[in-house]
Amino acid sequence: MPARCVSVTGAAGQIAYALVFRLAAGELFGTNQPIRLRLIDLPDMLPAVEAVRMEIEDANCPLVEEILVTSDLSIGFQESTLFFLIGSKPRNAGMERRDLLRQNGPIFVTQGKALEQWASQEARVIVVGNPCNTNCLIAASHAPRLPKENFISLMRLDENRARSLLARKAGVPLSSVSPVAIFGNHSSTMVPDFLHATIDHRPVIEVIPDRRWLEEEFFSLVQQRGAAILQKRGKSSAASAAAAALQTAKHLFFPSKEEFSAGIFSLGNPYGIDQNLIFSFPCKWQEGQRQIIRDLELDPFLSTKIRLSERELQEERACVEDFLHAQL
Ligand code: NAD
């Protein structure tokens, strides 16, 4: 079987460290599928990436045919059909979101151009580096040769967080909770849709009949989960982000009945959201195509929150307008 080739940027970082061993073990493509890894980071970080390569070699991963360590995208982006764009600069204390956008935008201009030049047309691109939705928009705008639907920003971690928080509150196992749609931005404005989620096939609101808790505490717990982990661990979430990135890749390569949230192009969306954003919607596979789940009736509370998240993404887009290349 020919090997699958996967590129990972930010390969010296902590999310990549949690991700690449799982890829190497065959968790995504299966335990019969050989894999080649392109591990990419900044030139100064290449010794650390070399160490990751040595550890993969030492971890007894017979599926791994090749590990390439590079900071040169013309090497690292060739042949891959899956790109995890994780590499980005962290937000420093006191830094505004706008500053982060301006700081990381150019990374995704460069990577978008490299995708345009080197990536195969079937390539799927999962943007993890924050602010991931707008970074994804930037990258896609520089790679018009690739289908727009193959650009995704990571929202599955937020969905996983919402599910586990509901399970905990209801005192039920995680498997009792349905997928929880996340609308909007991967930020503190994201909207976890508790209206359509179920616990043991009953509406959440029936099992947790406390609308105030759902609207206020639950919202804030989901939106602030990343910050809470950062505060306790001193580092941002990595293993859970890697797990969610893998799950997202599985959704893209192996259609199933499972519903999932993903940051995707908003073009043609049925919720009246601005048509040129990377926006999180609940998705599912139908008739061989990934589609936005339509027909969810949103009440005034959720609709208002979704509009706020849309506005934030519009502001983010305006802030990086000069980084956006082509009209999408
Ligand atoms: P990290 O600081 O441990 O690693 C980031 C790595 O990216 C570093 O090794 C750095 O050298 C590298 N890098 C920086 N610029 C690069 C470039 N131009 N090309 C290639 N590599 C580059 O960070 P981490 O914890 O692995 O997190 C990575 C990103 O993921 C952050 O932006 C973080 O906010 C984001 N994140 C997103 C989610 C999500 O759900 N979307 C969840 C968690 C973290």
Residues 64, 85, 249, 75: is their CA dihedral positive or negative? negative
Task: Give the nearest ligand 1 atom to 158 CA.
Answer: 40
Could you tell me which of 210, 124, 208, 122 has the C-alpha nearest to residue 172?
208
3-state secondary structure of 55: helix
Task: Decide whether any atom of ligand 1 lies within 6 Å of the 209 Cβ.
Answer: no
- 139-151 pLDDT per residue, tens: 999 999 999 999 9
Q: What is the pTM of this model?
A: 0.97
Would you state the pLDDT for residue 292? 97
Does ligand 1 come within 6 angstroms of the Cβ of 89? Answer: yes
Q: Residue 126: pLDDT band by 50, 70, 90 thresholds?
A: very high
Name the percent of the chain lying above pLDDT 70: 99
* Ligand 1 mean position, distance from CA 46 (Å): 15
- In sequence order, the 6+-apart residues with CB closer than 8 A to the CB of 6 are 23, 35, 36, 37, 38, 80, 81, 82, 83, 84
Q: Does any ligand 1 atom lie closer than 6 A to the CB of residue 119? A: no
DSSP 108-135: HHHHHHHHHHHS-TT-EEEE-SSSHHHH
What integer best gives the mean pLDDT of the chain?
96
Tell me which of 49, 84, 86 to substitute to probe ligand 1's pocket, judged by most ligand atoms within 8 Å of the beta carbon. Answer: 86
Residue 94 has pLDDT above 80, yes or no: no
Whether the ω angle into residue 131 lies within 30 degrees of 0, i.e. cis, is yes
Q: Is the pLDDT of residue 325 over 80?
A: no
Q: List b or e across 33-61, with b for residues whose CB sees 16 or more CB atoms inside 10 angstroms.
A: ebbbbbbbbbeebbeebeebbeebeeeeb
Any ligand 1 atom below 6 A from CB of 184: no
**So which residues are the catalytic ones?**
186
The DSSP bridge pattern shows strands 35-40 and 64-70 to be parallel
What Å distances lie between residue 263 and 55, 56, 157, 196, 283, CA to CA? 32, 30, 11, 19, 10
For residue 288, what pLDDT is reported?
87
Which ligand 1 atom lies nearest to the CA of residue 91?
34
- Quickly state the pLDDT bin for 90 (edges 50, 70, 90): confident
- The predicted pLDDT at position 92 comes to 77
Q: 38-58, pLDDT tens digit by residue?
A: 999 999 999 999 999 999 999
Query: Averaged over 62-91, what is the pLDDT?
Result: 96
> What pLDDT shows up at residue 328?
47
Which candidate, 251, 272, 244, places its Cα nearest to that of 132?
244
In whole angstroms, what is the distance from residue 293 CA to residue 87 CA? 30
Relative to beta strand 82-85, strand 124-127 is: parallel
Cβ of 14 less than 6 Å from ligand 1? yes
Q: Is the CB of 12 under 6 A from ligand 1?
A: yes
Q: Quote the ligand 1 centre to 200 CA distance (angstroms).
A: 36
What is the predicted pLDDT for the residue at 295?
87
Mean per-residue pLDDT, 97-114: 94
Stretch 13-23: mean pLDDT, rounded? 98
Mean pLDDT of 122-132: 96
Which of the 8 DSSP states describes residue 45? G
Q: In a mutational test of the pocket of ligand 1, which residue from 85, 236, 240, 264 has the highest number of ligand atoms less than 8 Å from its CB? A: 236
| pLDDT range class, residue 326, cuts 50, 70, 90 | low
pLDDT tens track for 165-209:
999 999 999 999 999 999 999 999 999 999 999 999 999 999 999
Per-residue CA distances from 33 to 23, 63, 79, 119 (Å): 10, 7, 16, 20
Which residue matches tokens 């029936």? Answer: 206
